[in-house]
Chains A and B, each alone.
Chain A
Amino acid sequence: MKRHLISAADLSRADALLILDTAEELAQLADRPIKKLPTLRGRTVVNLFYEDSTRTRISFEAAAKRLSADVINFSAKGSSVGKGESLKDTALTLEAMGADAVVIRHPASGAAHRLAGWVKGSVLNAGDGTHEHPTQALLDAFTIRRRLMGGPRRGPQGGRGGLGGTVSPQNRGGLGGASPRANTALDGLRVTIVGDVLHSRVARSNVLLLSTLGAEVTLAAPPTLLPLAVSSWPCAVSYDLDSELPKSDVVMMLRVQQERMNAAYFPSVREYSRRYGLDAARMARLPDHAIVMHPGPMNRGVEIAAEVADSSRSTIVEQVANGVTTRMAVLYLLLGGTEFPAVTQ
């Protein structure tokens, strides 16, 4: 495991499983009356946010605080040269304050990468431009694993074979699913990611992480919203969402950004919604056990219909809860002291 978490590609399969298993252990904590561990007492975590993202910031803040770290929130909007302090100068300032970890959200792709060259502490990428958002992918993998690979009947290998008729009730509607056994990956699961892949940091990180964990990822989108070189990615591509749904274990809907709506990526919001939006009729084409995910915030009525978002298949609220747990695991493993493998038990 590297010192920083900038890209999901930084994680080996063993690293990723260690994070997920650690998160499972930490999840037990959420059920206790006192939710705090002393692990990171005396360590300083800075949340450096150049974009408004209350949900992600709060999630990281809660994660760090539950591990007893000191948290400094640094909101620095207007990052461009000439408008304010340069990223490098900000980095040197944080360095001088003794930040052990910097969680950065930034509108420019590669900002986390650059920051890592300027600070001694760990850098956690909380979303950089249209590049990556690795903790989102981790919490998505955690959520998928709980929903589809958890429960008593699921062996460590899980996988397609067992999914057909043996899904237990708590895995379908139940809040959060059940803890899978340690070291369970996502081998053979079929995940379809739908929407604006071109501009999505969530999609990039998920393609990398989910394929590392053995899932078969398919991107379903209009050709205008896929990178031209997408064929070099470890995933399949489809322009036809309807044909993908019956074979999907997971459907992950991406947000359609407002600024794409008038930039010739698609003729109209209505047409986008008609071809790539997940409504009740489309949801009915999914296998019974399949789940529906969304990283939030949603455009209800555009990429996802309200009845889908609120259905029992939807994991959207769980994803938020799991975000805190997963980020705790990442902070714990990056800052918890020694090398990654040393904390495994």
Chain B
Amino acid sequence: MTGARETGPDRWLIRGVTVAGHGGRAAATADILLSGGSIVAVEPGLNHSGARVLDADGLIALPGLVDLHTHLREPGREDAETVETGTAAAALGGYTAVHAMANTDPVADTAGVVEQVWRLGRAAGHCDVQPVGAVTAGLAGLRLAELGTMADSVARVRVFSDDGRCVADPLLMRRALEYVKAFDGVIAQHAQEPRLTEGAQLNEGEMSASLGLAGWPAVAEEAIIARDCLLAAHVGSALHICHVSTAGSAEIIRWAKSKGWPVTAEVTPHHLLLTDELASGYDPVFKVNPPLRTAADVAELRRALADGTIDCVATDHAPHPVEAKETEWSEAAFGMTGLETALRVVQEAMVDTGLLDWAGVADRMSIRPARIGRLAGHGSPIEAGVPANLTLYDPASPPAAVVPAGASKSRNTPFAGLELPGRVVATFLRGTPTVLDGKLA
């Protein structure tokens, strides 16, 4: 434990940084002065008397990243991750806030559990932890959890999800969507038709056919997304789609948005870069839910993220202990870690390909996810007067192979050994560095 950090008297002057433009403004080089937990000035040639100086020449300043989809595993699976280690990994990845998914043990389906997670996050201090509440009691899909009580708790829950499982019952989904309107909540759906995916192991296609693994068809995701978009339109409630993985899903969401329906969506870094062909060696480090898809899906997901059909990147950081992956494919756990590599993957998949500029990255990894999560104090464009949540990133850092050993307790990264560009240099949470020179501060 690093203990709680208070917003110290420290003043920081970040000198010569490139501030990602927003609202049509071009990126510009400036100094950023942080004081009292806020950004007090953003302009060239600031006076630095009394402030600690961080020479940021060549670095890009992004508003602190916000993850809508993180599995911190505590309470219950502290062997895989804890709030302390998971949020340390988040800070190293440039995040200042993460949404902690509800599929813990016990499930985060009561005010007691969400408040516990929220407090653990405060104590760890690496980034803000915003608990997500379960939609149904025990994730069982049978009756609603006490959504209003979680919303009214200290944790102020606004995002509800049974992630890991689909809210498959259409009537229950309709009621959940309607009910959370009372406190401006949003239902984040894990779109997976259960009957179509019984025993499913891998994207249904050429790879699953030749490997003899039960297929996870794209239609099982798309059918639920289509249904839920229609439900959201019918009751006028906010729907968020977790980890969109297929070209068809993007097309349905594009259509729903064209109608003006209140639908948002996320894509994971791994679905922006990896394909199901990686399963050919049966290494379960590539086993994830929804599964890795085809190159055509990857191309379409990138396009949808670039044009805003998909609102944001969310990691679905899913740590697992070694023994859950060093096994037969069908016995292995679904999921991969992602917090420490997300920004580098996005540079590789979106920026270096010319699909997104850094303003776009700020929008898809900070501004929009904070808005979808109804998270105050995060996701503000970098300007005077906003909370000093900042990520400093070096995009010109030479490509280096990803090493599995990081702050996360788990090592199940699918990117191990892959050369990725860029490096997170520093992260500031309300004016206090949580990461400096790529290390925990």
From B206, B209, B326, B331, give the contact of A108 (CB < 8 A): B331
Interface check A131, CB cutoff 8 A: yes
Shortest CB-to-CB span from A83 to chain B, Å, is 10
Q: Output the nearest chain B residue to A108 by Cβ-Cβ distance.
A: B328
Q: A5-35 interface mask toward B, CB cutoff 8 Å, 1 = contact, 0 = none?
A: 0000000000000000000000000000000
Shortest CB-to-CB span from B105 to chain A, Å, is 15
Interface check A57, CB cutoff 8 A: no
Shortest CB-to-CB span from B106 to chain A, Å, is 20
Interface check A342, CB cutoff 8 A: no
Q: Output the nearest chain B residue to A129 by Cβ-Cβ distance.
A: B212
Query: Measured between alpha carbons, how far is A201 from B282 in the docked complex, in Å?
Result: 16
Contacting pair A81 B330 (CB below 8 A): no
Q: Output the nearest chain B residue to A230 by Cβ-Cβ distance.
A: B209
Contacting pair A130 B209 (CB below 8 A): no
Contacting pair A232 B323 (CB below 8 A): no
Supposing A228-B204, A228-B205 touch, asked if A110 and B327 sit within 8 A by C-beta, the answer is no
Query: Measured between alpha carbons, how far is A204 from B206 in the docked complex, in Å?
Result: 13
Q: B145-174 interface mask toward A, CB cutoff 8 Å, 1 = contact, 0 = none?
A: 000000000000000000000000000000
Contacting pair A201 B212 (CB below 8 A): yes
Supposing A79-B331, A80-B331 touch, asked if A232 and B212 sit within 8 A by C-beta, the answer is no
Interface check A77, CB cutoff 8 A: no
Query: Measured between alpha carbons, how far is A130 from B202 in the docked complex, in Å?
Result: 13
Supposing A110-B211, A110-B213, A228-B209 touch, asked if A86 and B323 sit within 8 A by C-beta, the answer is yes
Supposing A81-B323, A132-B212, A204-B212 touch, asked if A114 and B328 sit within 8 A by C-beta, the answer is yes
Give the total number of A-B pairs whose CB atoms are below 8 A apart: 73
Q: Output the nearest chain B residue to A200 by Cβ-Cβ distance.
A: B212
Residue count of chain A within 8 Å CB distance of chain B:
26
Q: Residues of B contacting A129 with CB < 8 Å? A: 212-213, 330
Contacting pair B208 A229 (CB below 8 A): yes
Query: Measured between alpha carbons, how far is A108 from B331 in the docked complex, in Å?
Result: 8
Contacting pair A109 B205 (CB below 8 A): no
Contacts of A61-97 to chain B: CB distance below 8 A: 79-81, 86-88
Interface check B269, CB cutoff 8 A: no
Supposing A109-B212, A228-B215 touch, asked if A88 and B327 sit within 8 A by C-beta, the answer is yes
Contacting pair A109 B204 (CB below 8 A): no
Q: Residues of B contacting A230 with CB < 8 Å? A: 209
Interface check B428, CB cutoff 8 A: no
Interface check B210, CB cutoff 8 A: yes
Interface check A227, CB cutoff 8 A: yes
From B209, B215, B329, give the contact of A232 (CB < 8 A): B209
Interface check A320, CB cutoff 8 A: no
Contacts of A95-143 to chain B: CB distance below 8 A: 106, 108-111, 113-114, 128-132
Q: Residues of A contacting B327 with CB < 8 Å? A: 81, 86-88, 114
Q: Residues of A contacting B210 with CB < 8 Å? A: 204, 232-233
Supposing A228-B204, A228-B205 touch, asked if A86 and B326 sit within 8 A by C-beta, the answer is yes
Query: Measured between alpha carbons, how far is A227 from B208 in the docked complex, in Å?
Result: 8
Q: Output the nearest chain A residue to B332 by Cβ-Cβ distance.
A: A81
Interface check B281, CB cutoff 8 A: yes
Q: Residues of A contacting B206 with CB < 8 Å? A: 229, 232
Q: Residues of B contacting A81 with CB < 8 Å? A: 323-324, 327, 331
Q: Residues of B contacting A79 with CB < 8 Å? A: 328, 331
The 8 closest A-B pairs by CB, nearest first: A110-B282, A131-B212, A227-B209, A108-B328, A130-B212, A109-B212, A229-B209, A229-B206
